[in-house]
Amino acid sequence: MCSNRFRVRGSGGGYALALIAAVLPVAVQGADVPEPVLAAERGRIEAIARGAQAAVAIFAGEAGGGSGVLISPTGYALTNFHVVQPAGVAMKCGLSDGRVHDAILVGLDPTGDVALVKLVGRDDFPFAELTDSDLVEVGDFCYAAGNPFLLATDLRPSISAGIVSGVHRYQFPAGTILEYADCLQVDAAINPGNSGGGLFDARGRLIGVNGRASFEKRGRVNVGVGYAISANQLRNFLGFLKGGRLVDHATLGATVATDEDGRVVVSDILESSDAYRRGLRYDDEIVSLAGRPVRTVNALKNVLGTLPAGWRVPVVFRRSGRRMEALVRLAGLHRPTELAKLVAADEAEQKGPSPGGAPPPARPKPAPLPDAVKHLYEARNGFTNHHFNILERDRVAAGIAASAASAATAGAWVMSGRLDSGAPFRIELSDTRGVIDLPTGTSEVDATGELDADPGPPGSGGMLAALLLWRRLLLEGPARLGRTSYWGMQPRDPATLGEFAQVDLVDVLETAAAAVEARFAVGADGGVIGIELWPVPDADPCEVRLSPLAEGPPGMPAVIEVRHGDALFGTFHVEDVRFEPVAPQPPGETS
Amino acid sequence: MTGRSGGRSRWNSWRMVGVAMLAAAVHAGVASWTSASAPGEVIAAAARKVVKVYGAGGVRGLEAYQSGVIVSPEGHVVTVMSTVLDAEVIDCVLDDGRRYRATLKGIDPERELAVLTIEGEELPAFVLDEADPLAVGSRIYALSNLFGVAVGDERVSVQHGVIAAFVPLAARRGAYEAPFRGDVYILDCTTNNPGSPGGALVDRQGRLAGLLGKELRAAASGVWLNYALPASEVARSYRQMLAGEAVAPPPADAAPAVFDPLALGVVLVPDLLDKTPPFVESVGAGSAAARAGLVPDDLLVAVNGRAVASRAAVRQALALVPEGDPVRVTVVRKGALVECDLGPRPAGGRP
């Protein structure tokens, strides 16, 4: 230590400067400090400045307020459900430059304590980049930027620095909402008011959203134990939130417990669950979920808590030494009405019981929305803000239209090619009917009526119906296809979950039309890459995967893979696609 | 590494101090801000030597968990002596999820430490005398299972901070004075949390510098203390416990402390029987009791949540409320339970 000395230039005041510098490392410019130290300091200052710019002070009037963090130049900002809950649909948001913007509520995830809001007034908001929070390590430097104790009267955020104290932490929910799964634990001070603000790494990238702290005997002040929702969980839900939804988290449909050997085993399972249909049974040992190893009950809750309802994830389990794997569709933790009720109930609770045990006063009539945001809100059951669902749906529609522009030809679409076995097939899709010729026979579905009656061809679970809806989607667009809304985002290939650091997500549209329900997965280029069709709700859907054709009509598939339940129905290698302006005469007899 | 020397002879001692402090700050700065992996590795290595201890408790205010440090590869674990260890089954869970049944090998009533043994082999262990005493201003990490956040193979939590002072401990728990009066590290890091006691205080190289102490308050101010017993004190205690020297009976409790409710303006009915029910006889005008709305014939049934069946029990329960802490009594009035806040407990009150 003693040999490590630094020369301080100048005399007289030199030692005084050195003393100050020792206390305040920020003030060392005057000293002959090694360049790496100065570089690290500059890096830190820049990182903090970047995070501070993206920080949002949220004001909810008398109900208090909190923090938020901008994640796009267009004004999308993440915060906590429990911050915006008392604020209602519209709120005022302050940025570090001292300006106040109107903001509108976009999406809610009460289970994960997340809300998405959109600030208006600029299209070049400073924003933070969501990074891969699974790369965060215990001991890493981190800092929080927010509005603790609502101190930011000049709108400049407070910064509290610390280290990451723990990763993949689990914090129990309050009832069924406000669950912090797989969260980051930090010793940076997280106080009331920091809720919803960003947690940043040493490079100023967003690793999480602060929202919770362990409090105990000292009251509601920080005791060095704060928690942040991980960026990776936020990314999983972001599509749903941007779609203006009231988002639900996932459940496996089974409960697990640790047995005497320390294995995590299924202790109960719903026979109506997809997990059961895919073969999971009582006493099976869970090995991994969504590509993450499961060694404790907490680990399972951790993974499950970061997943949206409706995703399919790989589950690896073991039975009498035999390893098995299945792709399981996760159900919702709540019924949709239940979630809406919980949100409303929580709102009432926020007001607190009135003194004297009298019934709480009727909710004051909500104030009219400010002019700046009132065109950005549309109430609808099951949605937080339906306006944003339309925006997202139209965005996806534009992508589909662009990618399939020349294919959108009315008349019959005829695809022919060979199956894996080499046998030929022919598929015809038109306004009036869907026909498939297979070596095993021909199936026909009436395209003009309801599609739930005939899930043909037999064994496919509804392949023709799925392709007919797909044709209508490309021809008519989502706005005119039955009731079509933006669903959210899901992994492009769920089977590979956990193999890659960051999940590759694609947009999904949800359609109720012709008495069936369907979901279309749409790639970033606007190509439809997958269809799931449920002739009957809560049963196994027909799953169609479309691989794009390299050459030929855009939007048309090169390979169509059809699955139903656990079985592969067939893989169709398309060799030729023809558009027939007029539907051919129905053949008298099939050949 | 990054420093350079020069012109040393021209410096007077004052300047030397300043420069040494600057060097320390810069050195620490480099370590903490630029080398991303190093702190992570130091922490990971230290965390493997910290165990999660589970025992008795689980009722309000008494957690059933704390922390401990492995100090020998044969499985000696030093932790704090507490009600958690007052159990037939004590378990220690390692960083990798291994769970061991522990045996209480010895206790040190003065420092309030205990040594447990677990039947593990080749366990990762701290070396007790490895670290130099830490100077005030040294950067430290505190590793513990605060709030019981980590379970199974999950790693204990780590916090960072600085040694703020090295001073004699003058602390109390409730109304009782803590027996240890030796020097302890005061930390600027909030380690006074449930589950933290028994955790490791390590230096920047990951060497054991101390043991996080029990949840105590400063005797003078009532402020919750963030402190750690220095490693030298832990080592001495450990050796004494192993030698069976330190297993002295706890200091004989004198007559239980009592606090006269009169200090709060509560006059109870005369103490005629062994278990005189604590009925309020009268309330002093303008007293805390009067302000709280206590009236004659109220029957006290609880003080700060602790059931009180007799006059004597009220006096003992009040004595357990630290001076300055709020007193809340539950009374039965006309068949209904009523809560009354009597405000902070005043000093004195000893009859």
For residue A203, the domain's CATH number is: 2.40.10.120
- In angstroms, rounded to a whole number, what is the distance separating the alpha carbons of residues B184 and B214? 12
Tell me the chain B residues in contact with residue A46 when contact means C-beta distances shorter than 8 Å: none
CB contact under 8 A, B29 and A40: yes
Amino acid in position A230: S
**Per-residue confidence (pLDDT) for residue A580, from 0 to 100:** 83
In Å, how far is A233's CA from the nearest CA of chain B?
19
pLDDT in the model for residue B345: 85
Q: Given an 8 Å threshold on Cβ–Cβ distance, is B152 in contact with A25?
A: no
| d(CA B43, nearest CA chain A) in Å | 7
Evaluate whether residue A351 is within a structural domain: no
Query: Per-residue confidence at A454, pLDDT binned at 50, 70, 90?
Result: confident
Q: Is the ipTM of this complex over 0.90?
A: no
**pLDDT tens by residue, A293-304:** 998 898 999 999
Do residue A304 and residue A432 come from a single domain? no
User: Does residue A92 share a domain with residue A6?
Assistant: no
Residue B31, min C-alpha distance to chain A (Å): 10
| Same domain as A92, residue A234 | yes
Does the beta-carbon distance from B24 to A22 stay under 8 Å? yes
- Asked if A225's CB is within 8 angstroms of B26's CB, the reply is no
Instruction: Please tell me if residue B136 touches chain A, with a CB cutoff of 8 Å.
Output: no
Average pLDDT on A541-549 reads 90
What is residue A8's predicted lDDT score, i.e. its pLDDT? 34
Q: Which residue of A has its CA nearest to B12?
A: A15
| B33: nearest CA partner in chain A | A40
The CB density around residue B214, as the number of other CB atoms within 10 Å, is 22
- Contact (CB<8Å) A214/B146: yes
Name the residue with higher pLDDT: B332 or A586.
Answer: B332
pTM here is: 0.81
Distance CA B315, CA B313 (A): 5
| pLDDT, chain A, mean | 86
In a domain, A132, yes or no: yes
Å from B273 to nearest chain A CA? Answer: 37
Q: Which pLDDT value is given to residue B112? A: 94
A542 has pLDDT over 60: yes
Residue A82 lies inside a defined structural domain of this protein: yes
A359 within domain boundaries: no
Q: What is the DSSP letter of B76?
A: E
CA distance A558 to A151: 59
Q: Please give the pLDDT value at position A366.
A: 63
Out of B30, B36, B157, whose CB is closest to A166? B157
Residues A476 and A494 in one domain: yes
Q: Which of A5, A23, A295 sits opposite B97 (nearest CB)?
A: A295
Contact of B158 with chain A, judged by CB distance below 8 Å, is answered with yes
Question: In the 3-class helix/strand/coil scheme, how is A147-176 assigned residue by residue?
Answer: CHHHCCCCCCCEEEEEEEEEEEEEECCECC
- Six-digit token string for B82: 């507490």
Task: Give yes or no: residues A120 and A168 share one domain.
Answer: yes
Give whole-number Cα distances, A233 to A162, A209, A587, in Å.
Answer: 22, 10, 54
Looking at residue B247, its pLDDT comes to 53
Whole-number pLDDT of residue A31? 65
Encoded amino acid at B92, one letter: C
Is A15 in Cβ contact with B25 (below 8 Å)? no
How much is the average pLDDT of A507-522? 94
Q: Domain boundary at A192, A227, A245, which? A: A245
CA distance A29 to chain B (A): 12
Name every chain B residue with its beta carbon within 8 A of the beta carbon of A21: 22, 25
pLDDT of residue A19: 42
On chain B, the residues whose CB falls within 8 A of the CB of A260 are none
Number of domains in chain A: 4
CATH of the domain at A525: 2.50.20
CB contact under 8 A, B30 and A21: no
CB-based contact, B22 to chain A, within 8 Å? yes
What is the structure's pLDDT at B64?
92
Last residue of a domain, one of A188, A214, A245: A245
Give the pLDDT confidence of A158-170 residue by residue, as tens digits. Answer: 999 999 999 999 9
Provide the pLDDT confidence category of residue A473 given band limits of 50, 70 and 90. Answer: very high
Residue A327: the pLDDT is: 94
How far apart are the C-alpha atoms of B102 and B70, rounded to whole Å? 12
Q: Do A5 and B8 touch (CB under 8 A)?
A: yes
Among A308, A332, A356, the domain-final residue is: A332
Based on the fold, state whether residues A254 and A207 are members of the same structural domain.
no
Determine the structural domain holding residue A24 and report its residue range. 1-33
Residue with tokens 């040294």: B138
In a domain, A227, yes or no: yes
Q: Judge if A491 and A461 occupy the same domain.
A: yes
B181-199, pLDDT tens digit by residue? 999 999 999 999 999 999 9
Closest CA to A278 of A329, A333, A322: A329
Cβ within 8 Å of residue B89, ≥6 positions away: B55, B101
Alpha carbon of A523 to those of A293, A403, A504, A542, B24: distances in Å?
Answer: 29, 10, 10, 19, 54
Same domain for A172 and A57:
yes
User: Could you tell me which residues are beta bridge partners of residue B330?
Assistant: B302, B339
Are A234 and A304 in a shared domain?
A: no
For the residues A56-79, what does the mean pLDDT come to?
91
Tokens at A534, concatenated? 């449920």
Q: Which amino acid is at A137?
A: E
CB pairs under 8 A between A and B: 178
Q: What is the pLDDT of residues A186-238, one digit of tens each?
A: 999 999 999 999 999 999 999 999 998 988 777 888 999 999 999 999 999 99
Shared-domain flag, residues A151 and A119: yes
Given a contact cutoff of 8 angstroms between Cβ atoms, the answer to whether B204 and B42 are in contact is yes
- Closest-CA residue to A69 (of A143, A167, A151): A143
Q: Which residues of chain B have pLDDT under 70?
A: 1-37, 60-61, 245-256, 348-351
Q: What are phi and psi of A469, to 5 degrees?
A: -65, -40
pLDDT at position A4 = 37
The answer for residues whose C-beta is within 8 angstroms of residue B229's C-beta and 6 or more apart is B111, B113, B180, B182, B184, B185, B210, B211, B213
Query: B16: helix, coil or strand?
Result: helix
Look at residue B346 in the predicted model and tell me its pLDDT.
Answer: 83
Q: Is the pLDDT of residue A346 over 60?
A: no
- What domains lie within chain B, and their CATH numbers? 37-243 (2.40.10.120), 261-344 (2.30.42.10)
> In A, which residues are within 8 Å of B98 by CB distance?
none
CA distances from A140 to A164, B39, B159, B191 (A): 5, 7, 11, 19
pLDDT on residue B59:
75
Residue A347 falls within a domain, yes or no? Answer: no
Cis check: omega of the bond before A368, within 30 degrees of 0 = no
Check which CATH number belongs to the domain holding A298 and give it. Answer: 2.30.42.10
Spatial neighbors of B73 by CB under 8 A, at least 6 apart, are B121, B122, B123, B124, B125
Active site residue ranges of A: 82, 113, 195
Same-domain check for residues A535 and A419: yes
Residues A240-274 have pLDDT tens digits of 999 999 999 999 999 999 988 889 999 999 999 99
- For residue A296, which amino acid is it? T
* Confidence label for A365 from pLDDT (cuts 50, 70 and 90): low
* Shared domain check, A545 and A465: yes
